[in-house]
Amino acid sequence: MLGFFGIDFVQSLILRPSPDVWAAHDDEEDEEDLLKEDACKVPCGQALDCTAPPPQKLTVDPIVVVPSPPLKPKAVDEVPFPTTLTEEDEEIINSVVAGKTPSYSLESKLGDCKRAAAIRREALQRITSKSLSGLPLEGFDYESILGQCCEMPVGYVQIPVGIAGPLLLDGKEYSVPMATTEGCLVASTNRGCKAIHLCGGATSVLLRDAMTRAPVVRFGTAKRAAQLKLYLEDPANFEVVSTAFNKSSRFGRLQNIKCALAGKNLYMRFSCGTGDAMGMNMVSKGVQNVLDFVRNDFPDMDVIGISGNYCSDKKPAAVNWIEGRGKSVVCEAIIKGDVVRKVLKTNVNTLVELNMLKNLTGSAMAGALGGFNAHASNIVSAIYIATGQDPAQNVESSHCITMMEPLNGGEDLHVSVTMPSIEVGTVGGGTQLASQSACLNLLGVKGACRETPGANARLLATIVAGSVLAGELSLMSAIAAGQLVQSHMQYNRANKDVAKLISGAGIDRSFLPRRPADDRERNFAVIGP
């Protein structure tokens, strides 16, 4: 950890307050009540037994050494909830185990979501003879996920949430929540945020905001399919088609239709504004309205599927890379040369060359589709999980091209990320869960924006892009400095006792900063803030 962050960072955690520029700023809303409501009643990892087994004792004999009887393996504790099963609970569990009562029907039969989860969990343990003692059950609102987030729950998985920032974006500071189990990720993004902040912040531009859905229909002939294509793409027909589409929602507004023909099969890609929702369901309802409407003039149309993969959702696709899907955002910053040297521990020319050979040429050699970046998906996934987005949409949302160019005669660095398919929402799905809602509240984008519908979701998309910019800047610098592997190894295997790190116990003093020359200085604090 010391070699990875640098002694200054470790000391700052223990011995001194953060600089003013990194001081936490007050939110407009009081988060204390939110956090209390979301607090887990069972301490994290309570059910896990992490105690190391005692060392094996040896009985020493003048002639031979005989080991003591082998230790019996410790039985895994059973689930603490419910502590006592009622006679009715036992009857229901036995019925589920016997296959007489479907597990999925417990919520509707019992009218108690938490009790249903506990009974389903106990039945599962008896059926499989496997303990779920490490999977928390308490401290979660199971009613909040009924019918919208997860079916047949038996508990929930804990993912730590770290904070990177403040990210200075478009003149405002954001503390970015990132849910991840990957060491170095938050620290690296945090260092990128610092570099951006010290140089006046980043600027973002939202180019497009439209979710898509593309049904596939079939006709008897290709000519007939082409007639529907011409009809839908004719500007003279757009008003009547959009009227049919828009009646499904107050916020869903049809923007355009792009069609592609494959023989007698027609793929129609509808693009629609969706307000603060991510909008997949909203667009699907609008598309169904249009299909019902055009069937009056095309009764021979056979609807094969409401989604024909020309959308394209949760899959890498050139159409999303070129046309965009969701929010299309460009984010840029100018990093001063002295910040590149002192904070990022490298230099402008090295970064520019690495970006060209790795993110551009290397990705082209690999035949990448939208992957002209170092690790955009890392940051996107972490923010998505923290804020209740659909993690699977990380696939197209991580489409990103990272560009780096020298400025002012090579003294400074211009860095940008272009992300055409950021798919986010601040209402619906997992955004309404307590933990995820708290993370959205931290960013100031919780719920729907009443004044300007869609503004919260658009702001969240720019924050995602700004965080990706920070992550790209820091990781590329670590690679340029030649310290990526060493940093991960040192950080992920670091001594957990920070006090010992500070005191220098067991530390190779050669890693401590001594105002070395520029080339040697790169060895220190590679990814620390």
The H-or-E segment that residue 66 falls in is strand 65-67
Using omega within 30 degrees of 0 as the cis cutoff, is the peptide bond preceding 235 cis? no
The answer to whether 168 touches 196, Cβ cutoff 8 Å, is yes
CA-nearest of 277, 221, 272 to 455 is 277
Q: Which of 38, 141, 390, 405 is catalytic?
A: 390
Q: Which of 258, 285, 314, 358 is catalytic?
A: 314
Q: Which of the residue ranges 31-35, 297-301, 404-408 would you say has the lowest mean pLDDT? A: 31-35
Residue-wise pLDDT tens digits, 82-107 = 446 799 999 999 999 999 999 999 99
Q: Check if 78 is active-site.
A: no
pLDDT higher than threshold 90 for residue 502 = no
Q: Which of the residue ranges 62-66, 230-234, 414-418, 509-513 would you say has the lowest mean pLDDT? A: 509-513
Q: Check if 399 is active-site.
A: no
3-state class of 390 per DSSP?
A: coil
The answer to whether 99 touches 46, Cβ cutoff 8 Å, is no
Residue-wise pLDDT tens digits, 110-157 = 999 999 999 999 999 999 999 999 999 999 999 999 998 999 999 999
Tokens matching residue 400: 């990103």
CA distance 179 to 163: 9
Residue-wise pLDDT tens digits, 375-423 = 999 999 999 999 999 999 999 999 999 999 999 999 999 999 999 999 9
Please give the model's pTM, rounded to 2 decimal places. 0.79
Model confidence band, residue 50 (pLDDT cutoffs 50, 70, 90): very low
Which single residue is written with the structure tokens 């060493």?
A: 486
Q: Check if 314 is active-site.
A: yes
